[in-house]
A and B are shown apart, each in its own frame.
Chain A
Amino acid sequence: MINDKNSQGIVDIIAEYARKQSLFIMAYGTGCGAIEIPPTLTSRYDAERLGIRGAATPRQADVLLITGYLATKSLKRVIRVYEQMQAPKYVIGFGSCTINGGMYWDSYNTINLLDKYIPVDVYINGCMPRPEAVIAGFEKLKELIQSGNALGWKKYEDNLEEYRENQKKVIVNWQMPDYNW
């Protein structure tokens, strides 16, 4: 569903402004790209001036930042974390590994395209992307939020079966409740 700017009421515009200016990130940093997150958040690049700050738990987070490759084992945790987050929630895929597998594309236990398993709103290209690129990715996410187009969480709710099917294909021993928010 494309929600163009003209159909947003004043309340929506204020709400989306608050949402985009206050992004609590949950950094899922098992990939090597995670090393670029500390400089992004600390003194050198200071993401806090843009309203981006770390969240301690999934319940408080808005953005799930997947930094790099995901082993099928850790995908399970990512799904749990994602489902525990409170909507509206966004996902940023960080690094080539989340887009096409990167240098792990033919590995036996990593996934190649993150979007098949959880809905990604923004990809940040690079192996690994520098903090400038990360911040540019966040700016893109902010644009999407303001225009009401960052609707990955809705897509996930609507197509839950499809996502589940994909997830169960790679996660061999699925021992989770079928929905865990």
Chain B
Amino acid sequence: MDLLIKILGALATVVLAFTVGMTYGGLTRKVIARIQNRIGPPWYQNFLDNLKLILKKEAVHHGFMQHVAPLWLIAMSITTLMFIPILKDGAWFTNFNFDGDLILLLYLMVIGSLGMALGAGQTGNPNSAIGVTRGLTQMVGFEIPWVMALVALMIQYETTSITGLMDAAEAQGTWLVFSSPFATIAAILAMPGMFRYSPFDIVGAPAELASGPVSEFGGKYLSTMMTSGAIFAFVKLTLYVDIFFGGASNLVELVVKTFILYMFPVLWGAVSPRFRTEQAVKFFWGWPVLFGIIGLIQASF
């Protein structure tokens, strides 16, 4: 009985993440369309796109690694999802919230990209290879301020667990954004790199790299990757809200907070051209790292 509830809880979490992530994707397209003075697609457009892709009658692949890369990606997204507390005080199914910590999560979050890199490499498409190199370079860029911010929090609150950080916020009565502002700024500035909107869309780079690593993936593979992307977006947003913005005690609060947070990379992207790879890395190693260092100094005193 206990096990059954756990499995159902995990399923419910995945469905929630998928729905919220896909809806955000659709709303983003709408928001960008309004900025460009267009009407834009309906908010459920991404669901239709995904459904259509999965209903495609063919999907070619060029070998085993390409076949499993999307699976790898979605497995990683769901695994990270399981370690994230969705709501405060275990108000939603807890899954594995208390078993993992931030360090484990940091590792898990990059595994998907590595699997994707292997899969994209096997397609033999030169665009994929360039996209993968750029993606890994960009990751080196934004991971540094992001890890600095997390390490600062770990030092300051002497815990590596996400729930521990949430409890610390509860205990001191303010969100961590107020008690560790510099670490927060570093982490927030690293965020556009994770979401890959302009100016950091150097990996997919439409019209330049022909969608980069995914250029040889169609049909069900693309659909799996889209699903994984939606879930992973939800994971990242929830993680940010959990750590820096005090978590959420109900789903409405969670959706409002994550959506506001999500608009930061989206709106920045809507009005920006694309960086070159070295410009992107230079950006992340500039101000974000500086704030990360200040955050570390603040944490150790």
A interface list, Cβ under 8 A from B? 14-15, 17-19, 21-22, 24, 42-43, 46, 48-49, 51, 53-54, 56-57, 59-60, 62, 85-88, 181
Contacts and interface: CB of A to CB of B under 8 A. Distances in A.
A87 B57 contact: yes
Given A18-B51, A18-B52, A57-B215, A46 B40 contact: yes
A54 B49 CA distance: 13
B273 to A, nearest CB: 16
Nearest to A53: B41
B49 A22 contact: yes
Given A19-B55, A87-B56, A60 B211 contact: yes
Interface of B: 29, 33, 36-42, 45, 48-49, 51-52, 55-60, 127, 204, 206-207, 210-211, 214-219, 222
A53 B206 CA distance: 12
Contacts of B206: 54, 56
B239 to A, nearest CB: 29
B215 A21 contact: no
A19 to B, nearest CB: 5
Secondary structure class of chain B's binding surface, majority of residues: loop
Contact of A48 (B38, B55, B215): B38
A86 B59 contact: yes
B215 A86 contact: no
Given A43-B38, A86-B218, A87-B57, 13 more contacts: A18-B48, A42-B38, A48-B40, A49-B41, A51-B45, A54-B206, A56-B204, A57-B210, A59-B218, A60-B217, A85-B218, A86-B56, A87-B56
Contact of B55 (A18, A43, A57): A18
Contacts of B55: 15, 18-19
A17 B51 CA distance: 10
A130 to B, nearest CB: 18
A14 B52 CA distance: 10
B60 A56 contact: no
B29 A48 contact: yes
Contacts of A48: 29, 33, 38, 40-41
B11 to A, nearest CB: 22
B210 A49 contact: no
B38 A46 contact: yes
Nearest to B59: A86
Which one of B41, B55, B60, B206 has the highest number of Cβ atoms from chain A below 10 Å of its Cβ? B41
Contact of B45 (A17, A22, A43): A22
A22 B48 contact: yes
Given A43-B38, A48-B40, A86-B60, A60 B52 contact: no
Contacts of B217: 59-60
